[in-house]
Amino acid sequence: MIIERPLLGTLSIQLFAEDIREWEDWTAELQSLTIQRGGKRNGVAVSVDPGTLTATIVNAGDPASDGRIHPNARVRVGKLTGAGDLLPIFTGRIADVFATVTFEKTSGARTLRVTLSAVDSVTAHANTTRYGVISDPETWAQRITRLADSALTEVVLPEDDSPLVRTL
């Protein structure tokens, strides 16, 4: 079953404007949004697939004249809380931008649709050479911090050093 609901006030899609160093909200121009994540388990090994986002924006963000939407631009989608904070659902960078323009012959109206595809940082982190073995014991947060120092993309580090518990 497909249920259509307005996104305004529920979700927010934002692009980072490099010129003003702030996140700009594009939710009002959003026509469609798809986020996919995946992974698989092979015995005890777990592989994580890159998360992808596909969004279509209507009548805004023409890549030919608007420099805000371009490959490698930062994008995020989040759920809005009652206090107006953004709880992240997806963060990544634009990988591809595709624009189409349709003309209505009878009215002469022009509709611009910009489809952007973005990926999260799973691929960049997976392709970074890291040397994870050390002789001294370290906590989980220390290990993450050490590995994050070699990351090619931004990493938000854990704020506490509590033990990581997994159940199988």
pLDDT of residue 96: 94
Residue-wise pLDDT tens digits, 113-132:
999 999 987 766 666 666 65
- pTM (predicted TM-score): 0.69
List all residues 6 or more positions away from 125 whose beta carbon is below 8 Å from its beta carbon: 151, 152, 153
Closest to 117 (Cα-Cα) out of 139, 146, 97, 91: 97
Q: What tokens appear for 73 in the block?
A: 């631009």
Residues 4 and 58: beta-carbon distance below 8 Å: no
Residue-wise pLDDT tens digits, 5-59:
666 678 889 999 888 889 998 888 888 999 988 777 777 766 777 889 999 999 8
Which long-range CB contacts under 8 A does 124-129 form with residues at least 24 apart? Answer: 124/151, 124/152, 124/153, 125/151, 125/152, 125/153, 126/48, 127/152, 128/152
Q: Per 3-state DSSP, what percentage of the chain is helix, strand, and coil (rounded to 5)?
A: 10, 45, 45
Per-domain boundaries in the chain: 11-123, 128-168
Polymer length of the chain: 168
Confidence of residue 156 (pLDDT cuts 50, 70, 90): low
C-alpha 69/C-alpha 17 separation (Å) is: 9
CB atoms within 10 A of CB 97: 17
CB atoms within 10 A of CB 151: 13
Q: Answer with the residue of higher pLDDT: 92 or 45.
A: 92
CATH of 11-123, one of 2.40.30, 3.90.550, 2.60.220, 3.40.50: 2.40.30
pLDDT of residue 57: 92
pLDDT of residue 129: 67
